[in-house]
Amino acid sequence: MREFLRPMLPMLAVLLVPIVPFLLFAWLHPGWEEDVARWGQSGESRLWTAVIIIGLLASDIFLLIPSSVLCTAAGWQFGVPLGTLVAWSGMSLGAVIGFALAKRVGTPIVAWLTTPTELARAGELTRQLGPWLLVIARGIPVVAEASVLFVGLHQMPWRTFLPPVLFSNLVLALAYAAFGRVAAQYQLLPLAIGVSIGAPVLMIAIFRLWLWARGTKH
C-alpha cells in the first residue's frame, strides 16, 4: 500500500499550489460569488470571461491550473451547451499545444514541462495501454500532461492522438459544465467549486489504486 500512496504526494502538492490561494481569497472576501455574477451579466464581460477561461485552460500544460474549477465555472456562467464548448476548447487547445511542442522541439521542452519520473510513468503506461491512456488520464492532474508530452515526444501521429483526446475532453467538459449549471440553479457555487477541487484528488486516488492493483497481480 505504501507504493500506492507515496506517488500521490507530489500530485497532491501540485494541486494545492493553485487551490490554497483560491481558498484563502474566498475566505477573506465573503460574497465574492455575487461579484463574479455581476461581472458576467453584460455581453462584453461574458466574452472576456470565455476568453480568460479558454486561455487559462490552454496554458494548463505550462502552469498549475485547476482545470476542473474552470470547467465548472464555465457551466455556471454560460450554461451547459456554451459552457461545454468553452471548457472543451480550452482543454483541447492546451493538449494540442503540448503535443505539438513535444513533437516539434522534443526532449528540451518535455524536460522543462514535466519530471523524468512522471515521463517514465507515462511511457510505461503508454506501452501497456496505447492511445487508451490518453482517454483514461485526461482528468488526472500531472498524468494527463505527462501522457500528452510523452506521445508527442515519440511522434505519435496526429490522427491517432486527436480522436481520444478530443472525445475525452468533451466528456469531461460536459460533466463539469452540467455540474456548474446545476450549482448555479441552486445557488451552490462555493460547494460546487469545493467538489470540483476534490474531484481530481479522487481521480488520482482511483488511478493510483488501479496501478497498484495491477502491479500486485504481476
pTM above 0.85, yes or no: no
At 61, list the grid cell.
Answer: 500544460
Q: Which range of residues forms the domain containing residue 148?
A: 2-213
- With respect to residue 8, please indicate whether it lies within any of the assigned structural domains: yes
Which of these, 27, 23, 56, lies nearest to 194 by C-alpha position? 23
Contacts 24+ apart (CB under 8 A), 204-213: 204/8, 204/11, 204/12, 204/140, 204/141, 204/143, 205/8, 207/136, 207/137, 207/140, 207/143, 208/4, 208/5, 208/7, 208/8, 209/4, 211/4, 211/125, 212/1, 212/3, 212/4
- With respect to residue 218, please indicate whether it lies within any of the assigned structural domains: no
- Matching residue, cell 495501454: 129
pLDDT tens digit at each of 218 positions of the chain: 344 444 445 555 555 555 666 666 566 666 655 665 565 565 667 888 899 999 999 998 887 778 888 999 899 889 999 999 999 999 999 999 999 999 988 888 888 888 787 778 788 878 777 788 888 888 887 788 888 988 998 889 999 999 999 999 999 999 999 999 998 888 777 777 777 777 777 777 777 776 667 665 55
- Return the C-alpha torsion angle 83, 50, 35, 24, nearest 10: 90
The total domain count for the chain is 1
| Cα separation, 46 vs 37, whole angstroms | 10
